């Protein structure tokens, strides 16, 4: 990232590759948190619709403690999915949830700009995550999450309460352009096409590396055709014909007077 890309007056901190990065804008962070919260809600809703959470109705009917009543099971389920979602992406997707990736944000350790471990990911989730159980439901969670931003004006790194607890900072980070290790180079994939930094990162650390590998195999078979010879007799015959028609074979024939 070039110096001219830094917003005027931005606070600059060390990033994951030792280079300076501007601290993320507060509105981007807030919007990313909202998008992640809505995403988890739709994940839970879809799992309920397709009956993977078939027991939810029965639990909601039998267990209705105050002050949440029938919504208790749904709230606890949401908190569980939100926890798993946040932990998996922050830890194994280079400090970026899908919404943070979309908003060009990344969470790093404050002291050295390094990747987050499981402990920091859990501490970062804890403050805002459990707030969703605060009554009144939803409204209580929104109020508590908004309150975590009260420390932002008093910290030069614009850290929220979650950042203070976990020892993290959120930087402005475009994953398509940056290299978190400083070692990735412009390389070609198996089809001779230039690989983006994002693809190189996912091949090296990627959360969905296995799925993308399967996708590339399918794409390779589609390009080569399903009937391409693989160690078949016709394949060996074609290789033998190529070998016997080469320059070395012709020279050998000339020496023998053929």
pLDDT score recorded for residue 14: 78
Identity of the highest mean pLDDT range in 6-10, 77-81, 187-191, 248-252: 77-81
* Statement: residue 235 has pLDDT above 90: no
- Phi and psi dihedrals of 168, rounded to 5? -125, 165
For 102-133, write each residue's pLDDT tens digit: 999 999 999 989 999 999 999 999 988 887 77
Per-residue confidence at 89, pLDDT binned at 50, 70, 90? very high
E strands along the chain, which residues? 12-14, 20-22, 105-109, 168-172
- C-alpha to C-alpha distance for 231 and 222, rounded to whole angstroms: 18
Range 190-197 average pLDDT: 70
Least confident of 48-62, 79-93, 106-120, 159-173: 48-62
> What is the value of pTM for the model shown?
0.66
What does the domain layout of the chain look like in residue ranges? 3-172, 180-241
End-to-end, the C-alpha distance of the chain in Å comes to 66
pLDDT score recorded for residue 234: 42
Range 2-16 average pLDDT: 65
* Statement: residue 258 has pLDDT above 50: no
Residues sharing a CB contact under 8 Å with residue 127, sequence separation 6 or more, in sequence order = 148, 161, 162, 165
- C-alpha to C-alpha distance for 105 and 23, rounded to whole angstroms: 9
For 141-178, write each residue's pLDDT tens digit: 788 888 999 999 999 899 999 999 999 999 999 887 77
């Amino acid at each position: 990232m070039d110096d001219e890309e830094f917003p005027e007056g931005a606070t600059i901190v060390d990033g994951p590759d030792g280079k300076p990065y501007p601290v993320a804008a507060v509105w981007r962070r807030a919007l990313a948190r909202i998008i992640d919260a809505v995403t988890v809600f739709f994940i839970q809703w879809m799992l309920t619709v397709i009956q993977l959470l078939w027991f939810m109705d029965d639990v909601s009917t039998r267990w209705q403690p105050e002050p949440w009543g029938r919504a208790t099971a749904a709230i606890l389920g949401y908190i569980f999915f939100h926890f798993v979602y946040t932990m998996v992406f922050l830890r194994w997707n280079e400090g970026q949830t899908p919404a943070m990736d979309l908003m060009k944000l990344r969470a790093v350790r404050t002291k050295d700009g390094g990747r987050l471990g499981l402990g920091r990911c859990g501490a970062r989730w804890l403050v805002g995550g459990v707030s969703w159980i605060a009554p009144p439901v939803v409204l209580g969670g929104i109020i508590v999450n908004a309150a975590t931003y009260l420390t932002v004006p008093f910290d030069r790194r614009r850290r929220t309460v979650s950042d203070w607890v976990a020892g993290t900072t959120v930087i402005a980070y475009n994953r398509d352009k940056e290299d978190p290790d400083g070692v990735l180079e412009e390389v070609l994939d198996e089809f001779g096409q230039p690989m983006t930094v994002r693809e190189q990162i996912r091949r090296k650390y990627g959360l969905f590396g296995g799925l993308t590998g399967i996708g590339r195999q399918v794409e390779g078979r589609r390009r080569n055709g399903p009937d391409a010879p693989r160690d078949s007799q016709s394949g060996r015959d074609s290789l033998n014909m190529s070998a016997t028609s080469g320059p070395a074979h012709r020279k050998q024939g000339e020496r023998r007077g053929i």
